[in-house]
Amino acid sequence: VGHHAEVARAAEEAAAHGASPLEAAERAVSRSGDRWGAVYSRGEYEEFEATLDGAYTGVGLWARERDGRIEVSRVGSGTPADEAGIRPGDRLRSVDGKKVDGRPVTEVVSLLRGDRTGKAAGSTVRLGLERGSRSWSETVRRARLFREPVTVRSLASGVTVVQVSAFTKGSGERVGAAVREAPKESGIVLDLRGNPGGLVAEAVTAASAFLDGGLVATYDVAGEQRALHAEPGGDTTRPLVALVDAGTMSAAELLTGALQDRGRAVVVGSRTFGKGSVQMPTELPDGSVAELTVGHYRTPSGRGVDGHGITPDLEAGGQALERAETVVGGLGR
C-alpha cells in the first residue's frame, strides 16, 4: 500500500523537473510489481470510467475470428454499422486500410473504436468488407454507444438465463429486476462467463437479488478490514446455478464466491480467473490517474480469490450451459 505514496512521489518529482509525471508513474508502478496497477492519461481515464457506465465509442459491430479471418458476429440495431447495411457473417478485411486477417480480435476491436489513435465519436473509419463474391468498402461514422450489460432469455425447459457481461452502472439492479420478472417456478442460470468484473457495488446489488442480507465479502484497505453486505429481501428459494469460466474475473468472482459459500448457488463451469484485488484511483499532478491495488477481498468463509480463482462445484467444458440447465432442473425437484 506504500505504492500509492511512491507512485505519487515519483510523479511529483518528475513534474518538478519538467519531465512527464505519467511516464514516471508508469515506471514506479512497474517497479512495484503491482500486476493490476495502471496509469491512465486524463482522457484514457475518462474513457475507462465511461466504460463502467456501459458507454463506448464505436460503430456497433462485434467481430470473431474464423479460420484466421475476421467475420462480423453481431450488429447492434440502430448502430452506424446497422445503418450501413453490414450484416452478421460479413467478412471484415481491413480497417482504415490495415489488413485484419490474422490479428487478434481485441486488436481489431481497438482499431474499430479508434482507441489507440484517440478517435472520438463523430470520426470516420473505412471498412473493407466481403460478402460471398462481393467486396466493397464502407465509410462509417463512430458514435457513442451503450452496451447492454444484462440480457435475459428463456430456454425451452423454462429455465431463465440471466447473462451479465460486465458490472457496469445499473447492472445489479437489472439482475434484481430479471429475478423478480422471471416466471414463478423458473430456475435461474446466472451466466457470468467472460465477465471481467467492474463495479464491486453492482456485484453486491446483484448478490442482494438472491440473498436475504448477510455477508458478501470482506476486504482490507491499508490493513483495515471492511465488509460488504447484501440488502435484505432477495429471492432465497428459487433454484440457482452460477455459470463461470476462466474469463470470470474480479467483481464477478466476488459474486460467485458469495453465492457458493452461502450455499445459495451451485457453481458450474471451469475455474475462474483469480483476480481478488481491490484498486483505487489516485490523481497525479498532470491530471493523469494511477489505479493501484490497495487490498484483497475474501469470500464469506474467508477464502482468498487472488491467484486461486473459484473452483466450480461441477466442472463442465463445452456443454456448460446444458449442464447448468440440467442442474437447475434437478435443484427444482
Question: What average pLDDT does range 283-291 have in this prediction?
Answer: 93
Contacts 24+ apart (CB under 8 A), 146-151: 146/54, 146/55, 146/56, 147/54, 147/55, 147/56, 148/54, 149/54, 149/174, 150/174, 150/175, 150/178
117-134 pLDDT, tens digit per residue, is: 778 889 999 999 999 999
Q: Is the pLDDT of residue 107 over 60?
A: yes
307-325 pLDDT, tens digit per residue, is: 999 999 999 988 999 999 9
Which residues 6+ apart lie within 8 Å of 280 measured at CB?
Answer: 221, 291, 292, 294
Q: Which residue has the higher pLDDT, 139 or 47?
A: 139
Check: CB of residue 256 under 8 Å from CB of residue 245.
no
37-60 pLDDT, tens digit per residue, is: 899 988 888 878 887 888 888 999
182-197 pLDDT, tens digit per residue, is: 998 899 999 999 998 9
CA–CA distance from 167 to each of 83, 143, 195 (Å)? 29, 22, 8
65-77 pLDDT, tens digit per residue, is: 888 899 998 898 8
Q: Could you give the angle at which helices 200-208 and 251-261 cross, rounded to 10 degrees?
A: 30
Check: CB of residue 195 under 8 Å from CB of residue 165.
yes
230-245 pLDDT, tens digit per residue, is: 999 999 999 999 999 9
Residue 302 CB-density burial (10 A; 0-12 exposed, 13-18 middle, 19+ buried): exposed
> Which pTM value belongs to this model?
0.77
> Within 13 A of 52's CA, how many CA atoms are on the CB side?
13
The amino acid at 204? V
Which residues 6+ apart lie within 8 Å of 61 measured at CB?
Answer: 72, 74, 75, 76, 79, 81, 86, 92, 112
Give the pLDDT of residue 2. Answer: 64
- Alpha helices, DSSP H, located in the chain: 2-16, 21-32, 42-52, 80-83, 105-113, 171-181, 200-208, 251-261, 320-332
Look-up: residue for cell 449442464? 323
